């Protein structure tokens, strides 16, 4: 088989072990909380909104074009899509079928368009506020934690600031009264036209686009996107209307000028850090689409 990188057994075993240890830092506590029936208002999102199972997040894979040498590699044959060759066990390129090709083409188009734009840093995380605007206290999403400013104070912040959310998967959770207050009306059809690299949710979604192509994306790239999503989610909820201080998350008070400036600085830093991950995914999708039958 030509064009295949061969990993010696000690090398890929070390990478596999390191990946599992890295991801169990997050999956282990989540699974323990779940076994106790406990909710976490910040971290559960990474395992519920995103549909990648903790067991899959822990699982290492080399991605395409890599042969795993040595007898231990034969256990990969128990997974769907792996075949044995003289060089070692590899992902079967034939497994990258029409559905995966369409996904890779969509991801490639979306991420390329997003990367072509300058970051906009003026939304101040108001999407979380718009999700509880004029909502009864017993109906808000995270009803186990209070609103920092109460319902009336939260509504007043939404009404006093301009809402500029261009991310459809945030906008679709706005309350009905909040929707007309948004300057944009994002939809699934306008997603490629509107997503921009300053958006926290667009940058968290790099994790989603990486795992959507599983197992044809190296586990380390999925893990890099996941860990960035953890940090972004933390800012997302610190800037939200919820009082999470008792959970160890001091607020970013976007209802004040100082808080909005703090948020924009952090948002800009995440845009900078997400850029190389986005470009790695773009390059990977290029390779996948180019190699597809």
pLDDT digits (tens, 9 = 90+) for 204-250: 999 999 999 999 999 999 999 999 999 999 999 999 999 999 999 99
228-267: buried (b, 16+ CB within 10 Å) or exposed (e) per residue?
bbbebbbbbbbbbbbebeeeebebbbbbeeebbebbbebb
Q: What is the mean pLDDT of residues 185-192?
A: 95
Q: 248 — phi, psi (to 5°)? A: 95, 20
- The predicted pLDDT at position 292 comes to 84
Q: What percent of the chain has pLDDT over 70?
A: 97
Asked if pLDDT for residue 177 goes beyond 90, the answer is yes
Asked if pLDDT for residue 161 goes beyond 90, the answer is yes
- 3-class DSSP state of 194: helix
pTM: 0.95
Asked if pLDDT for residue 2 goes beyond 60, the answer is no
Instruction: List the single range of 71-80, 121-130, 140-149, 159-168 with lowest mean pLDDT.
Output: 140-149
Separation of alpha carbons 76 and 116, rounded Å:
38
Q: Which residues pair with 158 in a beta bridge?
A: none
- The predicted pLDDT at position 293 comes to 72
271-286: buried (b, 16+ CB within 10 Å) or exposed (e) per residue?
beebeebbebbbebbe
Q: 16 is in which domain, residue-wise?
A: 3-289
Domain count, the chain: 1
pLDDT digits (tens, 9 = 90+) for 96-112: 999 999 999 999 999 99
Asked if pLDDT for residue 1 goes beyond 60, the answer is no
- The predicted pLDDT at position 136 comes to 81
Asked if pLDDT for residue 118 goes beyond 50, the answer is yes
């Amino acid at each position: 088989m030509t064009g295949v990188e061969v990993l010696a057994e000690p090398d890929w075993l070390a990478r596999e072990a390191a990946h599992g240890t890295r991801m169990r830092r997050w999956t282990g506590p989540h699974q323990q909380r779940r076994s106790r029936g406990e909710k976490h208002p910040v971290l559960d999102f990474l395992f519920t909104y995103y549909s990648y199972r903790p067991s899959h997040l822990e699982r290492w894979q080399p991605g395409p074009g890599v042969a795993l040498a040595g007898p231990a590699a034969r256990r990969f044959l128990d997974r769907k899509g792996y075949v044995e060759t003289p060089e070692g066990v590899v992902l079967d390129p034939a497994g990258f079928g029409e559905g995966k090709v369409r996904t890779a083409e969509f991801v490639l188009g979306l991420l390329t368009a997003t990367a072509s734009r300058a970051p906009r840093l003026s939304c101040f995380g108001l999407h979380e506020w718009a999700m509880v605007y004029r909502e009864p206290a017993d109906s808000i999403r995270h009803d186990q934690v209070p609103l920092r400013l109460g319902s009336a104070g939260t509504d007043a912040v939404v009404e006093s600031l301009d809402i500029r959310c261009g991310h459809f998967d945030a906008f679709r959770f706005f309350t009905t009264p909040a929707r007309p207050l948004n300057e944009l009306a994002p939809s699934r059809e306008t997603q490629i036209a509107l997503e921009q690299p300053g958006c926290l949710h667009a940058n968290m979604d790099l994790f989603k686009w990486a795992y959507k192509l599983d197992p044809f994306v190296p586990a380390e790239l999925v893990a890099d996107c996941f860990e960035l999503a953890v940090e972004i989610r933390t800012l997302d909820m610190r800037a939200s209307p919820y009082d999470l201080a008792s959970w160890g998350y001091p607020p970013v008070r976007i209802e004040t000028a100082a808080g909005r400036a703090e948020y924009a600085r952090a948002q800009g830093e995440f845009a900078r850090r997400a850029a190389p991950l986005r470009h790695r995914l773009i390059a990977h999708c290029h390779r996948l689409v180019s190699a597809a039958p």
